[in-house]
Structure 1
Amino acid sequence: MPEHTNYVKWFRNSAPYINAHRGKTFVIMFGGEAVAHANFANIVHDIALLNSLGVKLVLVHGARPQIEQRVHDVGIESRYHNDLRITDDIELRCVTDAAGSLRAQIEALLSMGVANSPMHGAAIRVCSGNYVTAKPIGVVDGVDLRHTGLVRKVDAHALQQQLNNQNVVMLSPLGYSPTGEIFNLTAEDVAVHTAAALKADKLILYTADDGLLDSDGKLIRQCEYRDVDAELEQQSALHSDSIVQAVVDAGDLGINRCHMVSFQQDGALLQELFSRDGAGTLITQEHYEQFMTASIDDVGGLLAIIEPLEAKGVLLKRSRELLENEIDHFKILVRDGMVVACAALYPYPEQRSGEIACVATHPDYRGADRAERLLELLEREAYNKGLQSVFVLTTQTAHWFQEQGYVECQIDDLPPAKKQLYNFQRKSKAFIKTLN
């Protein structure tokens, strides 16, 4: 396939994500290691692109290696306790110097507008300020951490005003007390509490790895916060990973979606946000409603949802016997033991296609994207089975499927086995969606 055709296809497929992210608030954290990496200029370009697409951005930068260099330059040795710097008066000057220098450097990169560059015409306005109130950690295990602190409060109202004015907010790993003191904070602490205070739609954490890795070193593409807790218990090495601990803290503070992406991989942020498979790890809150493959014991629950829709002609009538025979094709959403939504996938491997059928939600549980989530689950399953497309036959829900990216097709476009079973009396319309 020609390169320009691949580009057009990718750009079209990214449109739903562009629409979904517009107007949303993202908090993006990158450590001092990321700023020092050769790929950081590309990260800035990607951040500029998000800004141009209408995403509200809060950037939080770290500065540990830069602080370390300044501490070394003044001839003293850094001291740590529980992976936290013991910040005395001399080191605090190194901290503020490094943070101020990095902030200016990042602001300069975000201010670029050179012709024939990704930043041309960006005109990004960056603002910083004393939005973070901090408190001292104090004495831990008999060790006084001095000017090292924790986030006490984030001025969400002031931040929101800046975001509503289309400004990009940048926060340094510094906090201030009502008595005028400055505290050295971790970027992770600032990022997590800022995301929680703003009720941000996403918290994005840049890391040296591709994302969260399992015990075999393989990338975990999607999981829930509880799975991260389990990984921490299994892998003692992760206990010292401040990024992973930040993910755990994000879950405890109720942040719905957290992404881990690599600062070393060019375009990882864009791939994570604008493609189906992503590039890193997406961590979400645990749903008290669970997806599962249906079993014979779920037939009664399925019939309770399906039969009223069959009576209205929305769904094709299925007998209990037929449901029992085809039960393995069904995915269900269960809430406290009750089936509240269902859908089925029937593969046609020879044509590398599949039919999605019987998408239904209990009337008491409609309006919360349950059907959309089930549909997405089956599309992902079809893709993992090697299918290139999925299709639906519907009489009354055509518009809903079109909103999910399906386009109308002819009956002749369906697999031969399905065409032979087509019910001409129902006159169902066919819609298809290409998987990628």
Structure 2
Amino acid sequence: MSARATLQVAAGPTTPVSDALGAGSSFTHAGYSHSLWPVGLTPSSNEQQATCSDFLPMVPSECLHVRQTSQSEGRSATVGPSSFTTMFRDMSPYINVHRGTTMVIHLPGQLVESNLFGAVMHDIALLNTFGVKIVLVAGSRPQLNRQLSLRKLSQRFDCGMRITGPMELQCAMDAAGSVRFQIESYLGRGIVNSPGRARTINISSGNFITAQPVGVRGGVDFKNTGEMRRLNVDKVRTALDDGDIVLISSIGYSASGEVFNCLSEQVASKCAIQLESAKLIFMHNGEELIDSRSNSVVQTLVIDQAQQYVELAQQNPEVSGDYLLYLKESIKACINGVKRSHLVSRHVDGGLLQELFTRDGGGLMITKHMYEGIRTATTNDIVSIMRLIQPLLDDDVLVSRDQEQIESNVDTFVVVERDGAIIACCTLQPYENKFAEMGCVAVDPAYRNLGKGNAMLGYIMRKASAMGVTKLFVLTTRTAHWFLERGFVEATVHDLPPSKLAKIDLKQLWMKKNCCFKWNEFLLYEMIDRVLTL
């Protein structure tokens, strides 16, 4: 699975940076005072009070579209490692991170009727054994529509909201009850084919939510259509602490005993908010958000990005109402305290586990905070930096250096952090006469050819500019063409600063190649000489 990309539809001052997200990409300027920068973005000397969301790549609205994916059920999740041992080791940090956290998972009625329903229930049971506190919110829209059809009742809507009369309410309760029984039946089996006595899973369900009527809006009486007001948080948390899976339907009750048919997606987001859950997960129809310039799948949005996309997508008939609803409720949840919301395809076998237990996931994630960013390294990153550069040191691609040298110069390192893991690094070493050297460029093999090097180069150029550097140079023996393709020019060693020149063995370097030098201008910044010395 490709690494999560980010996108934004916005207006503001931009400058072309790299082909990290495709030809013609541009990025928002941001203040250099921040310590964490989204991949593909870099600091400048102005606009110091910008927020994290201001740093995200801008994608023109005409370049965004939703792509329908294959809905052939049973499609397996593409988990990278072929080795079970490697895969399990990669999963283990996430098992520890998710243990004890609360997740609200919305199960649409379409999933209950699919061939993968049993597999998803098995995965949810597995999450329970990992110590995840799970709240399931069950939708029953297709089951309700079938009940209405059997009773020869027409579906009535106004402004996209269902009108629920007494007969429709009876159909809604029958549909919700049927879905509830199916979910309880599957989860009650526990982990099938487990050694020894199978661990049973207890399901807690009941009148956990209080609802109120939608009432009369725009002159239309919605009758028994309701909206959730409150969740009995204490009761739900007690059940979760006992190891139960909590099951909530879309049927809510008022304090006076009235029954209301609520929107299950809204119930899920409100439950996640009131429980202060770590995650809200929607099992959707498999749509993918695409950057049409590079045809790459967008896998991460921050709240501002998601809101702007929804505003545009509402005018696009190709985007389904369900997909927009999932996005809206995900945004609402994240704004009100839920850490992350996820849209996971219900047509991928194992998609839920892939999204939760692999670094790159398999769906779309909406979050308040940065999932991937560039920042200055700290002493805590030294071991990860050594892991990245050791293969290149062994192959003589990088200049030899040990852990002690990295420790003493850790403040010169820049790292790309992805969900807590360091996946790329480089250094920026200043010299006299407004020179600086970019070196020790290394990218995790799993993330090569995904624009990480481009992102670091853009960051380094802007950081160098903010430091007053006018000449940025690189020493390399094997990767010259990569830098030449990005605007560097060849130079002689005598163009280097004296202190750097004093460290170079000229006899060895003379055997490589003589170079020439010329000035280059970097767009929207001070003049920077991008020098490549071979």
Could you tell me how far 1:122 is from its partner in structure 2? 3.3
Matched letter for residue 154 of structure 2:
E
Report if aligned partners of 2:122, 2:190 keep a CA contact under 8 Å in 1. Answer: no
Matched letter for residue 220 of structure 1:
V
Correspondence for 2:347: 264
Structure (1 or 2) with the greater helix fraction:
1
Tell me which of 292, 307, 330 is aligned to 1:247.
Answer: 330
2 CA distance for matches of 1:54 and 1:208? Answer: 28
> Within 5 Å, which residues of 2 pair with 1:55-204?
55-112=132-189, 116=193, 121-204=198-281
Correspondence for 1:422: none
Matched letter for residue 198 of structure 2:
G
User: Does 2:278 correspond to 1:232?
Assistant: no
Distance 1:66-1:5 versus aligned 2 partners, 3 A rule: closer
Could you tell me how far 1:118 is from its partner in structure 2? 10
TM-score (norm: length of structure 2): 0.56
Could you tell me how far 1:225 is from its partner in structure 2? 1.6
> Within 5 Å, which residues of 2 pair with 1:319-398?
348=392, 351=395, 375-376=421-422, 378=424, 382=444, 383-385=446-448
SS in structure 2 of the partner of residue 221 of structure 1: strand
Question: Percentage identity across aligned positions?
Answer: 34
Distance 1:74-1:222 versus aligned 2 partners, 3 A rule: same
Correspondence for 1:42: 119
Report if aligned partners of 1:220, 1:281 keep a CA contact under 8 Å in 2. Answer: yes
SS in structure 1 of the partner of residue 207 of structure 2: coil
Report if aligned partners of 1:345, 1:378 keep a CA contact under 8 Å in 2. Answer: no
Matched letter for residue 223 of structure 1:
L
Report if aligned partners of 1:113, 1:119 keep a CA contact under 8 Å in 2. Answer: no
Distance 1:103-1:351 versus aligned 2 partners, 3 A rule: farther
Gap runs ≥5 in structure 2: 1-79, 426-441, 451-476, 479-534
SS in structure 2 of the partner of residue 219 of structure 1: strand
User: Using CA pairs below 8 Å that are at least 6 residues apart, which structure has the higher relative contact order?
Assistant: 2
2 CA distance for matches of 1:118 and 1:40? Answer: 23
Question: Which whole-Å deviations, capped at 9, do the CAs of 1:23-48 have from their partners, x for residues lacking one?
Answer: 11111111101111111111001001
Report if aligned partners of 2:190, 2:199 keep a CA contact under 8 Å in 1. Answer: yes
Matched letter for residue 448 of structure 2:
K
SS in structure 2 of the partner of residue 38 of structure 1: coil
Report if aligned partners of 1:56, 1:168 keep a CA contact under 8 Å in 2. Answer: yes
1 CA distance for matches of 2:114 and 2:162? Answer: 23
1 CA distance for matches of 2:221 and 2:306? Answer: 31
Could you tell me how far 1:359 is from its partner in structure 2? 5.3
Distance 1:278-1:115 versus aligned 2 partners, 3 A rule: closer
2 CA distance for matches of 1:79 and 1:242? Answer: 19
Could you tell me how far 1:219 is from its partner in structure 2? 3.2
Matched letter for residue 257 of structure 2:
G
257-266 or 118-127, which moves further after superposition?
118-127
SS in structure 2 of the partner of residue 116 of structure 1: coil
Distance 1:213-1:93 versus aligned 2 partners, 3 A rule: farther
TM-score (norm: length of structure 1): 0.68
Correspondence for 1:8: 85
Could you tell me how far 1:19 is from its partner in structure 2? 0.9
Larger radius of gyration: 2
Correspondence for 1:327: none
1 CA distance for matches of 2:196 and 2:312? Answer: 43
Report if aligned partners of 2:215, 2:222 keep a CA contact under 8 Å in 1. Answer: yes
Gap runs ≥5 in structure 1: 294-301, 316-329, 331-343, 362-369, 388-415, 418-436
Distance 1:115-1:377 versus aligned 2 partners, 3 A rule: closer
Could you tell me how far 1:116 is from its partner in structure 2? 2.8
1 CA distance for matches of 2:355 and 2:420? Answer: 21
Distance 1:376-1:155 versus aligned 2 partners, 3 A rule: farther
Distance 1:64-1:352 versus aligned 2 partners, 3 A rule: farther
